[in-house]
Amino acid sequence: MTTCCCDNPCGCEESAFARVRYSYGQRLTAVDLLDEQSYLVGKDRFVARHVLGAGILCGLRASRGDGPPDRTPTIRVTRGAALDLCGRAIVVEHDQCLDVAAWFARRRDELSWSDPGTYPAWIGLRYGECPSDPIRVPGDPCGCDGGGCVYTRVHESFELALHAADGPVDPAKAPPSWDELCHGLAEHPSAVPLAPESCPPCSCEEWLLVATVDVTLDRPAGGAGLRAVDVGAPVEGDPRRLTLHSLAALQHVVTSLGAADCEPGPAISGLEGDGDLAADGSLDVGRAVLSLALARADDGSPVPLAAATVDADRLSLLRVGAAGWEAVDSSVTYDDGAAAFELKTDAAELARPYRLVLQDDPARPTVDEQLRPLRPSVFSRGVRWVAIPPPPGSGDPATVTLVTGA
C-alpha cells in the first residue's frame, strides 16, 4: 500500500508536465506507456489538489455497530468518497466495520493507555494502492533477468483505521474558515486573500478524519490485561473533518437564493462622506453616509425600510485607541427618503484609520415592507478622512472626504 508525500514523493510533488509525442513508425515501450499514464494521472491530481482541495465528498458517516452489548465493540462507516491532500480520489464502495477490541489488542504495546478508563480516538481514512492480476512475462532482452511474474493492474484502494488521539499520527488540518477569509478581505480590501502567495507544500498529513470517538477500557473479572469493552457514539462535529461540496450542491444553493421565498433583502451599495477643514487644519464636521440598494416596486420606485424596525444605533464609527477598538462620539439617523443611514461626527482626525460597522440584530432584524432583511446583516469597512484641496485661485476652503480601504 502506497503512502503520500513523505515515503513516496513522486505521489504528490509536481514537476513540469511532459506529454508523450507520438509519430508513425515509433516503437512504444513500457516506459512510454507509463509516461502517458503519469501525465494524465498527475495532471488530474494537480487540478484536484489546487482547485478542489481535500475533504469528504459524500457518505463516510460513522456510527456504533449494531449488536448485543456482550459482543465486541465495533464502529460502522458507510460507503462514500473523498479527495486527499494529494488530489487522489478515495472511493469506499461498501460499508466498513472497525473491530475496536481487535484494534486495541494489536496496538496495546504502542499505546499509552495503561489503566481502565475512557480514552479519545479518531477514525482516519487514507488512499492506498494494491497490485493485482499477475501474469508471466518473458525477460527483458536487454536486461539480466530471465523473466517471471509481474502485476498487470493497480487497484486504487483505501485504508480505514482507528488512531489514538495522543498518537504520532495527525489528521489533515482544516483550511481557513469562512469567517477568517472574510476577516482577511475586510482587513485587506485591495488584496485577494483567496489567492495564496505560494503553492501549498506537499503535506505528510495524508489521513482524513472521519469522526472522533471514545474508547472504554477495562479489566474483565479474572482477566490479567486491559480490553476494549465499549465505544462511544462517533462525533462528526470536529472541525478537522474536512468536507467538499459538489458543484451541483453549490448551484442548488445559489439558485435557491433567487426563489420568491429566498429573495435577498436590501444590500449595502456604497459609502460617501464630507466635512469642512478649519483654518488650523482640524476637521470641524464629518459626515458619513451608508447607502442601501433597496428592492424596486413595479413602477421602479424604491421599497423603503420598515421604520419601526430601523435602529440607528446599530451603525457606529470605531477607531483603535490605547485600549483597543473604541467608539467615536457620533450621532446616527436614518433618512427614509434617501434610504441611507447618516452618521455625523466632529471628532474625526485626518489620515487616521477608522472602521464603519453596521451590526444588525438577528432576533430583531431590520427589514423592508416585504419583510426582507438587510444583506449583509454585518457590515464592516475600513475608512479614513482625507483632505481635498480647493481649485487654484478659487479662494474656497479646503474640504475633506471619506474614502474606503483604510
- pLDDT attached to residue 258: 47
* Across 373-397, average pLDDT: 80
Distance CA 110, CA 8 (A): 24
Q: Which band of pLDDT confidence, cut at 50, 70 and 90, is reported for residue 5?
A: very low
319: Cβ–Cβ under 8 A, 6 or more apart, which residues? Answer: 325, 326, 328, 352, 353, 354, 355
* Across 96-108, average pLDDT: 91
Domain boundaries, the chain: 9-244, 264-404
234: Cβ–Cβ under 8 A, 6 or more apart, which residues? Answer: 62, 63, 64, 75, 123, 210, 211, 212, 213
Does residue 193 register a pLDDT over 60?
A: no
Read off φ and ψ for residue 335, nearest 5 degrees.
Answer: -95, 105
8 Å CB contact between 60 and 78: yes
- Does the 264-404 domain belong in CATH 2.60.40.1220? yes
Does residue 4 register a pLDDT over 50?
A: no
Mean residue pLDDT of the chain comes to 78
Q: Which band of pLDDT confidence, cut at 50, 70 and 90, is reported for residue 56?
A: very high
pLDDT in tens, 240-277: 888 887 777 777 666 654 443 445 566 676 777 888 77
- pLDDT attached to residue 298: 59
pLDDT in tens, 117-165: 999 999 999 999 888 888 888 766 666 666 678 888 889 999 999 999 8
- pLDDT attached to residue 137: 81
* Across 228-240, average pLDDT: 87
Query: What order of strands is seen across the sheet that includes strand 62-64?
Result: 62-64, 74-77, 96-99
pLDDT in tens, 350-374: 767 888 888 888 889 888 877 878 7
